[in-house]
Amino acid sequence: MANFVYLTRERLLELEKELNELKTKGRKEMAERIAEARSYGDLSENAEYDAAKDAQGLLELKISKLEEMLSRARIIDKSKLPTDEVAILSTVTVKNLKTNKIAKYTLVSPEEADLKAGKISLTSPVGKAFMGRKKGEIVEANVPAGIIKFEILEIE
């Protein structure tokens, strides 16, 4: 799988710390929860035990996903990225030409996308429309609701 996950060094360290906490503290807490639920008696009728085992499965899935993502991680040095055109990790201030609303987005890898935090995937329709564009350009993003036109006001 050659799909790299592009991260800043800071974000990589955050994810590694989260993974370490899940593997140590998270697994320990989960084992304690299962042991406590097991002490309640007959496992065939023990809802607490079933819930603890389900939670353990979700914890292991999260650990597995983090490990897989980190195995594909590539560090991006923001200082080496272009500032005159939109690239990964660029923060773009745009104006929606239909609504005249101004918004600020940071283009990130799909794994980091979080619209509420203003982080959009560079593989999304809007992200693709912005990539490689320059300040002052009008771009069209073909989204499920139709075509949205944006003017790029600023690139950071």
Q: Which CATH number belongs to the domain containing residue 95 in this structure?
A: 3.10.50.30
The average pLDDT across 69-84 equals 83
- pLDDT score recorded for residue 1: 38
> Exposed/middle/buried for 88, CB within 10 Å: 0-12, 13-18, 19+?
middle
101 and 145 together in one domain: yes
Token duo for residue 51: 């819930």
- Which residues are within 8 A (CB) of 122 and not within 5 positions of it... i.e. 6 or more apart? 88, 107, 108, 109, 110, 128, 130, 131
* Residue 108 sits in the same domain as residue 70: no
Residues 54 and 86 in one domain: no
Find out whether 107 and 88 touch, Cβ atoms under 8 Å: yes
Which residues neighbour 6 within 8 Å (Cβ) at sequence distance 6 or greater? 73, 74, 76, 88, 89, 108, 109
Convert the pLDDT of each residue in 95-135 to its tens digit: 999 999 999 999 988 878 888 999 999 899 999 999 999 99
- State the DSSP code for 116: G
User: Tell me: the pLDDT tens digits for 1-28?
Assistant: 357 888 878 888 999 999 999 999 999 9
Residues 55, 119, single domain; the answer is no
pTM of the entire predicted model: 0.69
| Distance separating alpha carbons of residues 50 and 56, to the nearest angstrom | 10
* Structural domain count of the chain: 2
Domain range holding 114? 78-155
- Same structural domain, 68 and 82: no
pLDDT score for 2: 52
Percentages of the chain per state (helix, strand, coil), in multiples of 5:
45, 25, 25
Residues 97 and 37 reside in one and the same domain = no
pLDDT of 44 strictly over 80? no
Given a cut of 90, is residue 148 above it in pLDDT? yes
> In the listed set 27, 60, 75, which residue is the last one of a domain according to the structure?
75
Mean pLDDT over the full length of the chain: 90
Question: What average pLDDT does range 44-66 have in this prediction?
Answer: 91
